[in-house]
Amino acid sequence: MGRNYKMDTLRSIAILSIIMIHVSAYYVHNGFEKLDINFWIGNIFDSFSRIGVPIFLLISGHFLLGRHESILEFYKKRINRIFIPIVFWSIFYSIYWPIGRYIFKNEWDINIKLIFHNIILGRPSHHMWYLFMIIGLYLVTPLINKLFLKSNVRQINKVGFILLLFGLILNIWNNYLRSNGPFILWFIPYLGYFILGYSLPKTKPINNFLLVFIYFLSCTLISILSYYTIIKFNNNLYFYHRLSPFVMISSLSVYIWFNQISINQNILSNLSKYTLGIYLIHAGVLELINRIVFKNGITGITIVDIWVKFFIVLIVSFIGVYIISKVPKLKRII
């Protein structure tokens, strides 16, 4: 079977979206007080980029569900893929952030006990949560595949949407409790995305124009409703969340659209094999750029600065990952 250039391209779009979220977040959070044009620029960029993580989950379901392989074979492949990156980057960021605070703020706060505590909780760095969540998802995938053998696509689709609705409700509940529980259970709210990633491409097509319209409308509503919740609910950004309704709708519309169009090999599809590495390294690159290059801004024009920062983070991260991938003893960390 040849490469699926549609999914390769979409995977690259997902990582670009995640970089844009983290770049624009600075302007959103710094704009809470004034809610001026700079806030709105950051807010719009952020709102239209929220599809990143849901798309990764949908693509994972696309490739991992419906497979006929032994449980042992499945676990062996997945462990080889994520175990070393999780261990290496957990240790790396546990040291990287304290060193950064010491260099830029003259605060030395390396605490071995706290480092182990954060790793056990699955949060050695703000973006590492995804890899820890994936562990639980991988553990239940063989069981889901067994259940799917006795189900048709319509039934699977229904289960996916029910679980997505459950994820939406569970997310609201977790936010109320201000707790997500142990990382081994983090996958539960995201099961809907994972399952729909397998079933949606096999269902009846939807008008492409309608899907694009739904994406733009949903993202616009995310930006407007986020402005409202910031004012009314003490800087709350609920509608940014991966499990909020309009992020779900926009993500599913993009995913369905990509499954319905034809795409040949392209720059983005070629970038796909580096996406995990870029995801892992970009947070550290962005921190350096914020501290050094953008310490006092560059142009002073928010929309320009966002794009400049975005491309610097992307290019530096790609170069770093590309170099690592060429070193035999290092390439397994990405």
The half-sphere exposure of 290 on its side-chain side, counting CA atoms within 13 A, is 16
User: What distances in angstroms separate CA 160 from CA 208, 242, 299, one per listed residue?
Assistant: 22, 16, 46
305-330 pLDDT, tens digit per residue, is: 999 999 999 999 999 999 999 999 89
pLDDT grade, residue 264 (50/70/90)?
Answer: very high
pLDDT grade, residue 17 (50/70/90)?
Answer: very high
**Containing H/E element for 253?**
helix 245-260
pLDDT at 115 (0 to 100): 83
pLDDT at 1 (0 to 100): 60
DSSP letters spanning 298-327:
SSS-HHHHHHHHHHHHHHHHHHHHHHHHTS
- Mean pLDDT for the chain overall: 92
- In this predicted model, which residue has the larger pLDDT, 48 or 181? 48
Q: Which of 256, 139, 250, 129 is nearest to 196 (CA)?
A: 256
- DSSP code of residue 53: H
pLDDT grade, residue 2 (50/70/90)?
Answer: confident
186-199 pLDDT, tens digit per residue, is: 999 999 999 999 99
Contact 8, 268 (CB under 8 A): yes
User: Average pLDDT for residues 99-115, to the nearest whole number?
Assistant: 77
Distance CA 327, CA 334 (A): 11
Distance CA 165, CA 206 (A): 21
- CA-CA-CA-CA dihedral for 323, 75, 192, 271, to nearest 10: 20
Q: Which of 308, 311, 283, 284 is nearest to 294 (CA)?
A: 308
Q: Which of 302, 170, 307 is nearest to 241 (CA)?
A: 170
pLDDT at 33 (0 to 100): 87
User: Average pLDDT for residues 95-110, to the nearest whole number?
Assistant: 79
Residue 172 one-letter amino acid? I
pLDDT grade, residue 225 (50/70/90)?
Answer: very high
Distance CA 86, CA 116 (A): 13
228-247 pLDDT, tens digit per residue, is: 999 999 899 999 999 999 99
pTM score, whole prediction: 0.95
pLDDT at 175 (0 to 100): 78
pLDDT at 101 (0 to 100): 79
Buried residues in 97-127 as b, exposed as e (16+ CB within 10 A): bbebeeeeeeeeeeeeeebeebbeebbbbeb
